[in-house]
């Protein structure tokens, strides 16, 4: 249980097309992440899956059954929101149990499931508190607990970590990954943060302009981006794009090379240039240089390196790690 | 900048202004109350003086309470005010929820239409209202007053509450939908508790004009059994002789229930007014 199919799902708000035909298959137990810049339609797509918005056209199937006309409560889904969305006047326990209570489940079952979910998230101590008496991280755990209690076919996460600070974000990320392993449930997760996408997903769906740009495992997207958008979006710092004609190449329009796939030398190399800025991060050193031939380049070196601005250095791309893109922005293989 | 903000003269000026305003606002109330405890001569000879043992007199209260019907007048006023507030809050909140929550054609137009009543005084329609009440046989009933006051209070209620309901998180309502709450449960159990401060604000703004109104009770329900306090006190004001003791005592008594209701709402009210100003 827990598969999802989207068949040419479209959504328009008046004259604006937000989603322009989305086709997607999610298998049972998969962790799928929708990622893209803001306004790409990823949250709208999630809301359509949840049933909070209606698609303008297209079909949504959960476990093979069309759910287009089914209200959210009966789609077998649970959703975790960015703003936690806990009921302020209910205790943690009642927050988690409300969905089951509305569905008419017996008291003992609600009790048992709430207990199980709260022990999974170590929330036992807080069951009688109100949301206002909890910290941000605890509130988000309660929100996740509320989803677990429903034992849904599909978990939907709408940027659940965006309101947490950096340290909590890492912890909660690990927690979500652990839950996915334990529950073996299908999860669909929306984020604009590519680190979350890369670390959590079995499958990443990159969206831009209401269109799926590429679907694949994190490493597929990293190693074999299908087009300029995916190449630029996945990976940090972003891939360098060089106008192929400046390099005297006629087999592509744009050449892409990741910052970590280049070597830097003071003596000799393919592209020489002046260093504009250096960022020392300890584990990495990121060098920005303005080269005559290739324009502004970002080079990521591992470990500590002592370069200074205004030095003249030479960068060389690792052989076999260049990406070639055609006129239409698609990759040439 | 921060120095100017905390300077003594500035603080003193602000406090002086606020104290002056408080005095101006409270003075008539104070004057009414002290004079209600004095005998007739003292009221006219020394209106500003607080009651002394020599001038202290409860004759006003005796007259008012001795008239017997005053308890009824109070009851009428309370029924009209409380039922009207309840209806204004209920229907106002429902309309506001619909306007702020659902997208439908003509949403903005509908909002403007419902708010139009803030600008047009309901008294302009008195003749038509009276004709309507006569036609429906509601003249001389409290129902007539309640209907008119509900209509009078709704525009402001819809206007204020819809602004507030826009600030209630969409995620919360959606979480409710996913948990299987009906739209009515979402309205009553999630949204209403969150806009309680705004409801209190609306309640106070609605309550005071209703309690104090003389116009509609005089026109729509002048019968003895349906008089409100404001109308009831009028019997002491004659064309040639006015029983000031009784008038002042009646007014002093009339302040009490409003004061109690106000205190009940005021804790929420302050939050309502300030949060309305900031957001």
B102-140 residue pLDDT tens: 888 888 899 899 888 888 888 899 999 999 999 999 999
- Residue A289 carries which DSSP code? E
Torsion (CA) A198, A204, A206, A212 in degrees, nearest 10:
170
Domain with CATH 1.10.3720.10 in chain B: 61-278
Could you give the CA distance from residue A275 to residue A309 in angstroms, rounded to a whole number? Answer: 5
- CATH 3.40.50.170 assigned to A4-230: no
- Smallest Cα–Cα separation from A154: which of A175, A184, A174? A184
Q: Flag whether residue A191 sits within 8 Å of chain B, measured between CB atoms.
A: no
Q: Flag whether residue A154 sits within 8 Å of chain B, measured between CB atoms.
A: no
- Which is it for strands A254-257 and A262-265: parallel, antiparallel or unpaired? unpaired
Q: Flag whether residue A83 sits within 8 Å of chain B, measured between CB atoms.
A: yes
Chain B interface, Cβ < 8 Å to A: 169, 171-172, 174-181, 190, 193-194
Could you give the CA distance from residue B51 to residue B36 in angstroms, rounded to a whole number? Answer: 9
Task: Provide the residue count of chain A.
Answer: 333
Task: Provide the residue count of chain B.
Answer: 279
Nearest by CB to residue A85, choosing from B175, B181, B194, is: B175
Position B272 scores a pLDDT of: 57
Could you give the CA distance from residue A246 to residue B267 in angstroms, rounded to a whole number? Answer: 71
Cα angle A81, A82, A84 (rounded to 5 degrees) comes to 60
Q: Tell me the chain A residues in contact with residue B171 when contact means C-beta distances shorter than 8 Å.
A: 81-85, 158
The distance of Cα A314 from the centroid of its chain, to the nearest Å, equals 35
Residue with token string 């329900």: B221
pTM for this model (two decimals): 0.79
The CA-to-CA distance between both ends of chain A, in Å, stands at 38
Separate counts of helices (H) and strands (E) for chain A: 8, 18
- A-chain residue closest to B175, CA distance: A85
Predicted confidence (pLDDT) at residue B41 exceeds the cutoff of 90: no
Tokens of B212: 């104090």
Pick the CATH number of A259-333 from 3.40.50.2000, 3.30.930.10, 3.40.50.300, 2.40.50.140: 2.40.50.140
How many of the other CB atoms lie within 10 Å of CB of A310?
8
Q: How far is CA A25 from CA A38, A64, A72, A217, B172, in A?
A: 23, 11, 20, 14, 29
- Smallest Cα–Cα separation from B221: which of B98, B134, B102, B128? B134
What ipTM is given for this predicted complex? 0.83
Is A135 in a helix, a strand, or coil?
A: coil
B171, B176, B187, best to mutate vs chain A, most A CBs in 10 Å: B171
- Which is it for strands A211-216 and A203-208: parallel, antiparallel or unpaired? antiparallel
CB contact under 8 A, B193 and A52: no
Tokens of A11: 């959504």
- Alpha-carbon distance B177 to nearest alpha carbon in chain A (angstroms): 6
Could you give the CA distance from residue A133 to residue A125 in angstroms, rounded to a whole number? Answer: 12
Q: Flag whether residue A240 sits within 8 Å of chain B, measured between CB atoms.
A: no
Could you give the CA distance from residue A81 to residue A98 in angstroms, rounded to a whole number? Answer: 16
Q: Flag whether residue A99 sits within 8 Å of chain B, measured between CB atoms.
A: yes
What's phi and psi for B9, nearest 5 deg? -65, -35
B201-260 pLDDT, tens digit each: 898 888 889 998 999 999 998 888 888 888 888 888 877 778 888 888 888 888 888 888
- Asked if A4 and A154 touch (Cβ cutoff 8 Å), the reply is yes
Could you give the CA distance from residue A253 to residue A241 in angstroms, rounded to a whole number? Answer: 10
Q: Tell me the chain A residues in contact with residue B178 when contact means C-beta distances shorter than 8 Å.
A: 50, 52, 72-73, 77-79, 99
CB contact under 8 A, A85 and B193: no
A100, A102, A151, best to mutate vs chain B, most B CBs in 10 Å: A102
Pick the CATH number of B61-278 from 1.10.260.40, 3.40.50.920, 1.10.1060.10, 1.10.3720.10: 1.10.3720.10
Q: Tell me the chain A residues in contact with residue B195 when contact means C-beta distances shorter than 8 Å.
A: none
Domain with CATH 3.40.50.300 in chain A: 4-230
Tokens of A289: 């240089």
Residue with token string 């250095």: A313
Nearest by CB to residue A73, choosing from B180, B190, B194, is: B180
- Residue B56 carries which DSSP code? B
Is the bond preceding residue A237 a cis peptide, omega within 30 degrees?
yes
Could you give the CA distance from residue B169 to residue B165 in angstroms, rounded to a whole number? Answer: 9
Residuewise pLDDT in 10s, chain A (333 residues): 789 999 999 999 888 999 999 999 999 999 999 999 988 999 999 999 999 999 999 999 999 999 989 999 999 999 999 888 999 888 999 999 999 998 889 999 999 999 999 998 889 999 999 998 898 889 999 999 999 999 999 999 999 998 888 888 898 899 999 999 999 999 999 999 888 999 999 999 999 999 999 999 999 999 999 999 999 999 889 999 999 988 888 888 999 999 999 999 998 888 999 999 999 999 999 999 999 888 899 999 999 999 999 999 999 999 889 999 999 989 988
- Alpha-carbon distance A184 to nearest alpha carbon in chain B (angstroms): 21
Q: How far is CA A219 from CA A307, B22, B101, in A?
A: 31, 71, 42
Q: Tell me the chain A residues in contact with residue B179 when contact means C-beta distances shorter than 8 Å.
A: 73, 98-99, 102, 146, 150
- B-chain residue closest to A81, CA distance: B171
Cα angle A59, A61, A64 (rounded to 5 degrees) comes to 135
CB contact under 8 A, A85 and B190: no
């Amino acid at each position: 249980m827990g598969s999802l199919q989207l068949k040419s799902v479209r959504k328009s708000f008046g004259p604006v097309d937000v989603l322009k035909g989305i086709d997607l298959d999610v298998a049972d137990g998969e962790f799928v992440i929708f990622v893209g810049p803001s306004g790409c339609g990823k949250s709208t797509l999630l809301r359509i899956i949840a049933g909070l918005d209606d698609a303008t056209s297209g079909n949504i199937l959960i476990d093979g059954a069309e759910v287009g006309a089914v209200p959210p409560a009966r789609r077998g889904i649970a959703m975790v929101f960015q703003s936690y969305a806990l009921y302020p006047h209910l205790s943690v326990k009642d927050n988690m149990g409300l969905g089951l209570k509305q569905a008419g489940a017996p008291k003992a079952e609600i009790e048992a499931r709430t207990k199980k979910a709260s022990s999974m998230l170590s929330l036992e101590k807080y069951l009688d508190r109100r949301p206002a008496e909890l910290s941000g991280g605890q509130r988000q755990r309660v929100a996740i607990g509320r989803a677990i209690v429903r034992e849904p076919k599909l978990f939907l996460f709408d940027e659940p970590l965006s309101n947490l600070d950096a340290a909590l974000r890492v912890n909660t990320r690990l927690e979500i990954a652990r839950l996915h392993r334990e529950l073996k449930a299908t999860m669909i997760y929306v984020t604009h943060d590519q680190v979350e996408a890369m670390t959590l997903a079995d499958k990443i769906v990159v969206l831009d302009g209401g269109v799926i740009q590429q679907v694949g495992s994190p490493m597929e997207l990293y190693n074999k981006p299908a087009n300029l958008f995916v190449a630029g979006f996945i990976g940090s710092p972003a891939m360098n794009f060089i106008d192929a004609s400046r390099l005297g190449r006629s087999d592509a329009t744009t050449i892409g090379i990741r910052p970590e796939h280049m070597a830097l030398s003071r003596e000799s190399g393919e592209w020489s240039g002046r260093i504009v800025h250096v960022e020392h991060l300890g584990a990495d050193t990121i060098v920005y240089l303005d080269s005559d031939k290739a324009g502004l380049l970002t080079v990521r070196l591992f470990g500590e390196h002592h370069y200074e601005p205004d030095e003249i250095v030479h960068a060389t791309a690792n052989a076999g790690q260049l990406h070639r893109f055609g006129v239409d922005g698609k990759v040439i293989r | 900048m921060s120095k100017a903000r905390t300077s003594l003269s500035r603080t003193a000026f602000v406090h002086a202004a606020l104290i002056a305003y408080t005095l101006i606002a409270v003075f008539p109330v104070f004057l009414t109350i002290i004079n209600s405890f004095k005998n007739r001569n003292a009221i006219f000879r020394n209106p500003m003086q607080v009651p002394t043992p020599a001038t202290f007199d409860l004759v006003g209260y005796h007259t008012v309470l001795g008239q017997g019907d005053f308890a009824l007048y109070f009851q009428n006023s309370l029924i009209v005010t409380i039922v009207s507030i309840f209806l204004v809050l209920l229907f106002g909140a429902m309309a506001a929820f619909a306007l702020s929550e659902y997208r439908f054609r003509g949403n903005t137009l509908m909002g403007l239409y419902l708010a139009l009543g803030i600008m047009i005084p309901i008294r302009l329609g008195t003749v038509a209202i009276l004709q309507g009440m006569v036609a429906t046989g509601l003249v001389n009933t409290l129902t007539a007053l309640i209907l008119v006051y509900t209509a009078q209070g709704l525009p402001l209620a819809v206007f204020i509450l819809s602004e507030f309901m826009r600030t209630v998180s969409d995620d919360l309502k959606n979480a409710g939908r996913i948990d299987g709450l009906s739209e009515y449960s979402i309205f009553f159990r999630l949204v209403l508790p969150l806009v309680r401060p705004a409801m209190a604000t609306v309640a106070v703004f609605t309550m005071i004009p209703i309690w104090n109104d003389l116009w509609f009770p005089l026109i729509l329900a002048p019968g003895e059994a349906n008089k409100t306090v404001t109308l009831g006190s009028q019997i002491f004001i004659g064309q040639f002789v006015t029983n000031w003791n009784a008038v002042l005592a009646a007014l002093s008594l009339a302040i009490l229930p409003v004061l109690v209701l106000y205190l009940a709402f005021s804790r929420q009210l302050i939050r309502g007014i300030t949060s309305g100003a900031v957001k």
